[in-house]
Amino acid sequence: MALRHLFVLAVCAFAVFPILFVVSAAINPLGTLASTDLLPNGASAGNFANLFGSDTYPFARWFFNSVFIALVASFASLLLSMFAAYAFSRMRFAGRRVGLLALLLIQMFPQFLAIVTIFMIFTRVTELYPAFGFNTVWGLMLLYLGGALGVNTWLMKGFLDTVPKELDEAATVDGATHAQIFWRVIMPLVTPILAVTALLAFIGTMSEFLMANVFLRDPESKTLAVGMYGMIAGDHRNANFGMFAAATLLTAVPTVGVFLWLQKYIVSGLTAGAVKG
C-alpha cells in the first residue's frame, strides 16, 4: 500500500510541477523566465496588475472574447450535435450508415490544411457581410460550428443507444410528438453526456489557436490563445514571462469553473459514451 502511495505521489508530482512553475512565475515580482524557480522567492500581485493595466495587451478584452466564444460555440455545437445524434440513434432512414461513416471520415481530414480555402471563403464573406468576416467573433464561431457534428455526435449517439427505446415508444403511445419526446424525454436523460461534450468542446475552443490566429488580427478581437502567443513571441519572450504565467493561470479559471460545475456528471458520462463510442 505504501508503494502505491509512493507511485501515485510521484505521478502527482509530475502532474503538478509545471503548474507550480507557472504559479511561481506568476507571483514572482521580477517575473522573467530566467529568474523563475520552482518555488517562488517572493510574492506580489504585480504581474496580475500589469496584465490588467497594460496598454499594449487588452487582456480583459481577450478574456471576455475567449469565454464568450467558448460558451456560445460549445452550447450551439452541443445542440446541433445532440439533434443529429437523436436522429442517428432513434430513426432509421436511407443514408444513415453512410452519414455516420462520413462524419467520422470528414473529421480525419486535417481541417486547417484547408485554411487557404477557408481564407478565401471568409475574404468574400468579409466583403459582403462584415459582421461575420475576419476579425469578428461571429465569423470564428461559424467556422467552429462547422466541426459541431463529428466526434461529438458519435459520443452522444453511443450514449443515446443505451437509453431504452421503450421510453420513446411509451411517449408516442401517449400522443407525444417527436419534438416533445426529444425535449421532454430524451434531453433530461442525457445530461451526463451533455456535460462531457460541453466540457470537451469548451476546453477545445479555449485552446484553439490556429484558426483563431488566421482569423483575428485586430488586438481588440483576439482570443486568449492568439493574444497570449503574441505576448511571448519574438523578443518579448523573456520579459513578459511573468505576465504570461499570470495570464495562463487566469485562463485556467473558466475551465476549472466549468469542470467543477459539471463534475458530478463527468465520470459516468465519459464511460457510458465510451462503451458504445
Partner 1 sequence: MQSSVDVREAARASAPVRPRREITTAFLVSRIAVLAVAAAILVYAVPPLIAAGSWVSLALLCAATAAIASLYLTRRFIPAKYLIPGTVFLIAFQVFPVVYTVTTAFTNFGDGHRGDKAAAITAIETGSVRQAPGSPEYGLTVALRGEELVFLLVDPATKQVSLGTSKGLTPLAGAEVGVTGKVLRAPGLTVLKAPEAAARAQQVSALAVPTGSGVIKANGLSRAVEGRATLVYDAACDCVRGNGDTWTADEDQGYFVNAKGEHLAQGWQVGVGLDNFARVLTDPTISGYFVGVLGWNVVFALGSVLGTFALGMSMALTLHHPRMRGTRFYRIALILPYAMPSFAMLLVWRDMFNRDFGLINQLLGANVDWLGEPMTARFGVILVNLWLGFPYMFLVTTGALQAIPRELTEAASIDGATPWKAFRRVTLPLLLVALTPLLISSFAYNFNNFNAIALTTDGGPFPAESPQVGSTDLLITYTFRLAFGAGGAQFGFAAAISVFIFTIVAVVSAVAFRRTRKQEEVYA
Q: Which of residues 108-167 bind partner 1 (CB under 8 A)?
A: 108-114, 116-118, 121, 127-129, 142-143, 145-151, 153-154, 158
Give how far the C-alpha of residue 35 lies from the chain's centroid of Cα atoms, to the nearest Å.
32
Q: Should residue 248 be labelled a site residue for partner 1 when binding is judged by CB under 8 A?
A: yes
Q: How many residues bind partner 1 (CB under 8 A)?
A: 99
In this structure, the number of other CB atoms found within 10 A of the CB of residue 263 comes to 11
Q: Should residue 170 be labelled a site residue for partner 1 when binding is judged by CB under 8 A?
A: no
The nearer residue to partner 1, 2 or 55, going by C-beta atoms, is 2
d(C-alpha 212, C-alpha 210), whole Å: 5
Site for partner 1 in 226-245 (CB under 8 A): 228-229, 232, 237-238, 241, 244-245
Q: And the C-alpha cell for 79?
A: 445542440
Selected binder of partner 1 within 19, 45, 49, 60 (CB under 8 A): 19
Give how far the C-alpha of residue 77 lies from the chain's centroid of Cα atoms, to the nearest Å.
11
User: Least distance (Å) from partner 1 to the CB of residue 146?
Assistant: 3
In this structure, the number of other CB atoms found within 10 A of the CB of residue 1 comes to 5
Selected binder of partner 1 within 43, 49, 60, 106 (CB under 8 A): 106
Site for partner 1 in 47-76 (CB under 8 A): none
Would you say 152 and 81 are in contact if contact means Cβ atoms under 8 Å apart?
yes
Q: Should residue 181 be labelled a site residue for partner 1 when binding is judged by CB under 8 A?
A: no
Would you say 28 and 234 are in contact if contact means Cβ atoms under 8 Å apart?
no
First CA to last CA distance, the chain: 35
Q: Should residue 11 be labelled a site residue for partner 1 when binding is judged by CB under 8 A?
A: yes
Give the largest Cα separation in the chain, rounded.
71
Distances (CA, A) of 164 to 96, 194, 249: 20, 17, 43
The nearer residue to partner 1, 63 or 221, going by C-beta atoms, is 63
The nearer residue to partner 1, 135 or 142, going by C-beta atoms, is 142
Selected binder of partner 1 within 69, 193, 201, 225 (CB under 8 A): 225
Q: Should residue 80 be labelled a site residue for partner 1 when binding is judged by CB under 8 A?
A: yes
Residues in Cβ contact with 261 at an 8 Å cutoff, skipping those fewer than 6 apart = none
Selected binder of partner 1 within 4, 39, 234, 235 (CB under 8 A): 4
